[in-house]
């Protein structure tokens, strides 16, 4: 499988990615790195983004994440390996990613649960991270960016 265009080699795409990457860096220190990777993995799984799923699983492993937890991200509700805070972040990720599937968007219950575990800046970081990973997913899915070749750190 080949990508439809060489997105990583296109000058305009480079400008777009620079800004998207800057937004991602703004939230980087506001949440635990493993929570960020879990959020990115779950949104990428929902969106069917193989490139981002591959990337963030590998980044999570490089950051010290346990393989068993990674194996269970897609079925996190039935898994005992996630903290209550991580579970709240994953639920917010699912509802925020599937916004078109629910006319009410993110429910008050899911928001209140996330707010029990995260302060205002962390909630801003979570909202932003969910929006950013969904943007990356859409770019890669539309472009049919192939998965499997990512190496942690290859983008700097």
For Cα atoms 93, 99, 102, give the angle at the middle one, nearest 5 degrees. Answer: 120
Q: Is residue 6, in this structure, part of any structural domain at all?
A: no
Give yes or no for a contact between 75 and 61, defined as CB atoms under 8 angstroms apart.
no
Q: Is residue 85, in this structure, part of any structural domain at all?
A: yes
Q: Is residue 26, in this structure, part of any structural domain at all?
A: no
pLDDT at position 53 is: 98
pLDDT at position 143 is: 97
Give the tens place of pLDDT for each residue, 16-36.
Answer: 999 999 999 999 889 999 999
For Cα atoms 145, 11, 48, give the angle at the middle one, nearest 5 degrees. Answer: 20
Is residue 32 helix, strand or coil?
coil
pLDDT at position 65 is: 97
pLDDT at position 155 is: 84
Q: Name the residue among 116, 93, 91, 103 with its Cα closest to residue 39.
A: 93
pLDDT at position 29 is: 86
Q: Is residue 23, in this structure, part of any structural domain at all?
A: no
Residues in the chain predicted with pLDDT less than 50, given as ranges, are none
* Parent domain of 85: 31-142
Q: In whole angstroms, how far apart are CA 137 and each of 33, 44, 104, 132? A: 19, 6, 23, 9
Is residue 4 helix, strand or coil?
coil
What would the two tokens of residue 5 be?
A: 């265009």
Domains in the chain: how many in total?
1
Q: What is the distance between the alpha carbons of residues 33 and 37, in angstroms, rounded to a whole number?
A: 6
Give the length of the chain. Answer: 156
Which CATH number belongs to the domain containing residue 85 in this structure? Answer: 1.20.1290.10
Q: Is residue 115, in this structure, part of any structural domain at all?
A: yes
Q: Is residue 13, in this structure, part of any structural domain at all?
A: no
Q: Is residue 21, in this structure, part of any structural domain at all?
A: no
pLDDT at position 109 is: 97
Q: Is residue 86, in this structure, part of any structural domain at all?
A: yes
| Eight-class DSSP state of 74 | G
pTM here is: 0.95
């Amino acid at each position: 499988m080949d990508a439809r265009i060489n997105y990583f080699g296109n000058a305009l795409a480079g400008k777009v990615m620079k800004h998207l990457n800057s937004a991602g860096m703004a939230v980087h220190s506001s949440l635990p790195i493993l929570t960020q990777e879990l959020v990115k993995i779950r949104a990428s799984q929902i969106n069917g983004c193989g490139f981002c799923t591959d990337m963030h699983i590998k980044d999570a492993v490089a950051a010290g994440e346990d393989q068993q937890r990674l194996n269970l991200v897609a079925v996190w509700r039935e898994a005992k390996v996630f903290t209550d805070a991580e579970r709240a972040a994953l639920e917010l990720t699912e509802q925020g990613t599937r916004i078109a599937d629910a006319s009410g968007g993110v429910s008050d219950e899911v928001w209140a649960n996330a707010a029990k575990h995260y302060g205002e800046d962390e909630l801003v970081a979570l909202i932003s991270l969910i929006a950013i990973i969904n943007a990356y997913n859409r770019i890669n899915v539309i472009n049919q960016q192939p998965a499997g070749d990512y190496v942690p750190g290859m983008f700097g």
